[in-house]
Structure 1
Amino acid sequence: MLAMPEVNHIKKMRNEKSLSINEISRRTGFSWETVKKYADEDQLPSENFSKKGGMMYEGKWGEIVSDWLLEDHALKKKLRRNNKIIYQQLKKLHFPGSYRTVCNYIAEWREKRMEDGETIKEEFDRLTHPPAEAQIDFGTTEVIQDGKAKDIHCLIMSLPYSNGGYTVPLPGENQQCFLVGLKALFTQFGRVPRKLRIDNLAAAVVRARGKHGDTIFTESFLKFASHYGFEPQACNARKGNEKGHVENKVGYVRYNFFTPSPVIRDLDHLQEMLTQKSREDHKRKHYKKGEPIQDLIKEEKKYCLALPENDYPVFKKETVSANKYGEVLIDGTAIHIPTSYHYSQVYLITYWDSYKVVSPNGEVLGEGPRPYMNKSRELPWLFVLGMWRRKPRSVSHSRYFPYLPGRIANYLSIESQAIQKDRIEWLMSQIVTYSMNEINELFYELLPSKDNSTLESDPHPYEVNWNIYDSLRPTNPVAEGAVTIHE
C-alpha cells in the first residue's frame, strides 16, 4: 500500500498532466498494475473484517474448548484443566488438530479475559453492570405469625446485569444472620458472584472508607469471602447510590412480596413463599433488554464462581460470666443458665437462631432460641375493631380479616350487619382484657349466651369445621349458656 503523498502524486500526473500509465510507471518506478490501481480506480474506505479461519474457528472445536474454559473459570485454580488435559479430552472426541493449535486458541481466549478473575464480555447493557457482580442489603418487613406482627429482616441480593433478585428472611442483622443469609442466597442462585457490593453494615465492616483510608472489613467476613472466593466491595460513607440497584430491589420486594403482610407459620414457610415469588418474578422480561430475567440469569451464571464443596460453619464463640443469680446476658436479655454461676467464665456460642452455653469442661449448661426469635407485637385490634364497628360491611374485605384466629373469623362471618356490629362490640369489650389469641382459646367460656342459637349455623370463610377439633378437647365444665360440643 502506497502512502497518501505518493497516491496524490500519481493522480496528479494522470489527471492534470494527462500522462499515460506506462509513463507514470517509468517515472515513479512502481509497477504498471499499481499505477493503474491508484491512477484510475477510486480508493473508497470499506468495512471489511478479517475473519479467522482454521478448525478452531470454522468447526465445533473452538466452541467446545470455550465452553470448557468457561466452566473451569468458575472453579478454583487447582481444579481447572490445563492445556494438556484439554487436548487429551479433545482427542477422545476425534480432534484432528495438533497440541500447538489448541494452545494457541487457549492463549487467545485468555487474552480477552483478565487474570484476576474478572471476565470481559463483548457487550454490556452498561459498563457499570457487568455479569457476575451482585449487590447486598437488608430490608425490614412485617409478617403475621400466630396472630401477632413480627419484624423480619430480609437480606436481598440483586444482580444488576440480569435484574434478578433473591431474598432470605432472617430474625436480625447481626453477623451470624448476615453470613447465614449469604450462604442461603448463594444456594438459591446456584453460583457465587465474583464481586459483592455491600453497604457499611456493622456485620461486615469495621471502618468505612473515608479520609482515614480504605474500608476495613471484619476478620470473620474476610474469612467467609475467602472461602467462597468473591471480592467484597464496600460503598463510600453516605453513598447509598453506589448500590442503587439493590436499594430499588428492596422496595420492589417490600411492595410486591409483603403487601399486605403475609400470614406465616415460621421462617421456613416464609422462605418457601419468597422462593416461589422470586421464580414467578424471574419470568417477566428485563425492563430494557427485552429478554426474560430467568434467561439472563442463566447466562450470567456462566461468569460466576461455583459453590465450594465444603460447608462454611457460621457461629460466634465468646467467654462470658454469669451473675450471682445464674443468669447470662444474651442479646441484651438475662437468661437463667443452671449451674453457670459455679464457673468464673463459660463459653457462649451463638448461631443465627439459637445459643449454647458450655462449661470450660465442654459440658452444655443450657441452650435454646435466641431472644429475638420470639419477639413479636400485638396487632392494633382495638383500633381495627373500632373501624369495623363504624363500617361492618368492610369486615370480610379488610386486610386484617385474614389475621383473625379461626373461631373469631367464623364468629364475625354473618350477613346481618346488626348482629355483626353487636359481635364486634363484644370483641372490643374483651380485647381490653385478653389478647385476640386468648379470646380464641377461651372462646366458648367468654361467648355471650345470646349467640348460642346462631353460632353453629354461621359459615366459616375457610370452610373449617371447628366442632371436629373441639371434640378432641378434654371434657371441662363450660360456662352457663355456652355451646355444648357433642362428639
Structure 2
Amino acid sequence: MYEEKWGEIVIDWLVEDYALKKKLRRNNTILFKQLQKLDFPGSYRTVCNFIKEEWKEKKMLDEADEWKVEYERLTHPPAEAQVDFGITEAIEDGKVKDIHCLVMSFPYSNGGFAVPLRAENQECFLEGLKVLFDEAGFVPRKLRLDNLPAAVVKARSRNQETIFTEAFQRFASYYGFEAQACNPRKGNEKGHVENKVGYVRYNFFTPSPVIKDLIHLRELLFEHSKQDHQRLHYKKKLVIVDLLEEEGKFGLALPEVDYPVFKQSMVTANKYGEVRIDGALIHVPRSYHYSSLYLILYWDHYKVVSTNGELLSKGPRPYMNQTREIPWQSILKNWSWKPRSIVYSRYFPYLPGRIAHYLNIESITLRKERVEWLLSLILNHDMQEIDERFYELLPEEVYGDSTNHPYDVDWNIYDSLQPMNDSPAKEAVKHV
C-alpha cells in the first residue's frame, strides 16, 4: 500500500467520497472490490488496516456512535415482509438523477428486492409494490411499513388504530395482504428493511451507476438481487434463494390480472390553456373548449381527457425529467492538481466517450494540459456539449496534426470503432 500506487489510489477515493453525503460514500468492501478490478494483489484486511492507519489519523472519518441501545430480538415467520423508501442517485445522459428506491425485505430468509422510482407519491408506491410482488413471485401475507403519506392518513395513537388511505386499502384488499403500520417514530419496528435499504445503497448504488433509463436500472437491480440471493443466510447457513423458495410456499398467489394503479381528478385549464400537474403548468391543446377536464395520473405519465372521452394531451410526469448537473468544474480542478488519479476516479466512468478517451493517456504532463483545456471550456459549455462539439472545440494544434505528440489520438480511427448513431454516453457505459 505504501511502496506501490495502491495507497495513493485509496486515499484519492476517500478524499472524493468525503465531499459527498455519507449515504453515497463507498465502504471498505466496495473500495476493495474496485481495487481488485485494477488487479490489486493484496487482501481485504490489508485495505482495512491501511484506511484505519492513514485515514483516521487525519481525523476525517466520522466517529463511531458510542451509545448502544438494546432491542428485544424479534422472531419473523415466513411470508412476512417489510417495505421502505431510500433515496440515492444514478447517472443518466451525463446528469445526476435522484432515485427513490422502494425496498422490500423478508426477515425470515433475509432476501430482498428493490425497484427504482422517481417519487414517493401514492402512484409510485403502489406501482413499486406491484413490481416487487412480481419479482418475489408471491404476495406476502403481512406487510409492515412506515407511516408514509402514500399509505397512511393518520398514524396509530393510544385511542385509535392506523387509518390507511382508501386507495391503499383497495390495493391491499385486491392482493389479500394485511398491512401493518409502525408506531410513530419507531423505525426499529421495521429494522430489517432499514438495514436492507442501506445494504442496497452501499452495494448497488456506490458509486452511482450509469444507466439508460429507469427500466434499465430496474433490470440491473433485479439481477443484483438474484446474485445476492446466492449467498448464505448469516445465521441459518442456508442459501437465501432456497429460503425464499420455501417462504413462497407460505405466501399468497399473485392475481391473474394486475391491479390498475392511477389517480383521477377533475381540473380546469387557465386562460392560457394550461393545466397544473405536479406543480408545473402543462399546455393542453384545445382545453379552452371545456369547462372541466379529467386528469389521470400514472406513476410515470399523465393523460388529460375531455368529458366526452377525447384524449387531449399525454406525456411524462414533470418529475420524470428532473436532473442535476455533475459538478465538473470542481472535479476538474481536483484532477488538475492530481492528474495521476484521473483514470481511477469515481467520476471517470461518467465522462462522455471522446473526452474519457482523450484523458486516458500515459503522459501525466499532457493529461494535465488536457484537463486545463476542459476547465477553460466548462465555464461556458456543459460536458455533453463539449463532447458533441469535440472536433470544433479541440485546439487546432492538437487536432490539425496528430503526429506532433506521441500521445495524441487519431480521432478518425477512434470514431471508426463504433457506429456513429451510438451516443458517447452509451459507449462509455459499454467501455466501463
Aligned mates of 1:472, 1:457 — CA distance in 2: 30
Query: Hey, what's the Cα distance between the residues in 1 that align with 2:117 and 2:311?
Result: 26
Contact kept? 1:176, 1:316, Cα under 8 Å: yes
Q: Which whole-Å CA distance do the structure 2 matches of 1:249 and 1:472 have between them?
A: 40
Unaligned 5+ segments in structure 1 are 1-125, 474-487
Deviations 1:100-148 (A, max 9, x none): xxxxxxxxxxxxxxxxxxxxxxxxxx76311110000000111000000
CA distance in 1, matches of 2:250, 2:197: 25
Give the conservation status (yes or no) of the 8 Å contact 2:95–2:323.
yes
Contact 1:194/1:229 (CA < 8 Å) preserved in 2? yes
Which of 111, 116, 121 does residue 164 from structure 1 map onto?
Answer: 111
Alignment partner for residue 89 of structure 2, among 142, 148, 151? 142
Residues 296 and 412 of structure 1: CA distance in aligned 2, closer, same or farther (over 3 Å): same
Describe the superposition over 1:323-343 as per-residue Cα deviations: whole angstroms up to 9, x where unpaired.
Answer: 111111000011111111221
What TM-score comes out, normalization by structure 1 length? 0.69
**What SS does the corresponding residue of 2:302 show, helix, strand or coil?**
strand
Which amino acid is the alignment partner of residue 189 of structure 1? Answer: A
- From 226, 233, 246, give the equivalent of 2:193: 246
Pairing partner for 1:411 from 339, 351, 358: 358
Identity of aligned residues (%): 65
Counterpart for residue 292 of structure 2: 345
Which amino acid is the alignment partner of residue 466 of structure 1?
D
Alpha-carbon distance between aligned partners in 2 of 1:140 and 1:344, rounded to the nearest angstrom: 40
Unaligned ranges ≥5, structure 2: 1-72, 423-432
Cα 1:428–1:127 change in 2 (3 A) is: closer
Q: Which residue of 1 aligns with 2:397?
A: 450
Two-structure CA RMSD over aligned residues (Å) = 2.0
> Residue 297 in 1 paired to residue 272 in 2?
no
Letter paired with 1:328 = V
Counterpart of 2:137, as a letter, is: G
Paired position in structure 2 for 1:195: 142
| CA 1:364–1:256: 2 relative to 1, 3 Å | same
- The 3 A distance-change label for structure 1 pair 289 and 375 is same
Which residue is equivalent to 1:277? 224
Residue 466 of structure 1 corresponds to 415
CA radius of gyration, larger in:
1
What is the CA–CA distance in structure 2 between the aligned matches of 1:350 and 1:359, rounded to whole Å? 15
Corresponding residue for 2:214? 267
Q: Aligned in 2, Cα 1:414/1:216: closer, same or farther, shift over 3 Å?
A: same
Check whether the contact 1:225–1:231 (CA below 8 A) recurs between aligned residues: yes
Secondary structure, aligned partner of 1:454: coil
Cα 1:343/1:127, change in 2 over 3 Å: same
Contact kept, 8 Å, 1:136 with 1:197, in 2: the verdict is yes
What's the counterpart of residue 84 of structure 1? none
Instruction: Considering Cα pairs closer than 8 Å and 6+ residues apart, tell me whether 1 or 2 has the greater RCO.
Output: 2
Other structure's SS at 1:450 match: helix
The separation in 2 between residues aligned to 1:245 and 1:285, in whole angstroms, is: 17
Q: What is the count of residue pairs matched by the alignment?
A: 346
Matched, 1:376 2:323: yes
Amino acid at match of 2:393: L
Does the 8 Å CA contact 1:171/1:177 hold for their aligned counterparts?
A: yes
How has the CA–CA distance of structure 1 residues 328 and 209 changed in structure 2, closer, same or farther, with 3 Å as cutoff?
Answer: same
Tell me what 1:398 maps to. Answer: 345
SS in 1 for 2:119: coil
For 1:312, the equivalent position in structure 2 comes to 259
Secondary structure in 2 matching 1:238: coil
Task: Work out the CA distance in 2 between the residues paired with 1:169 and 1:470.
Answer: 30
Equivalent position of 2:132 in the other structure: 185
- The structure-2 alpha-carbon separation of the partners of 1:442 and 1:304, relative to structure 1 and needing over 3 Å to count, comes to same
Contact 1:410 1:459 in 2 (8 A): no
- Structure-2 separation of matches of 1:257 and 1:378: 21
| One-letter identity of the residue aligned with 1:319 | M
SS at match of 1:305: coil
Instruction: For 1:471 and 1:157, locate their aligned partners in 2 and report how far apart those are by CA, in whole Å.
Output: 41
1 CA distance for matches of 2:371 and 2:184? 51
Contact (CA 8 Å) 2:142, 2:179: kept in 1 or not?
yes
* Distance verdict in 2 for CA 1:457–1:342, change over 3 Å: farther
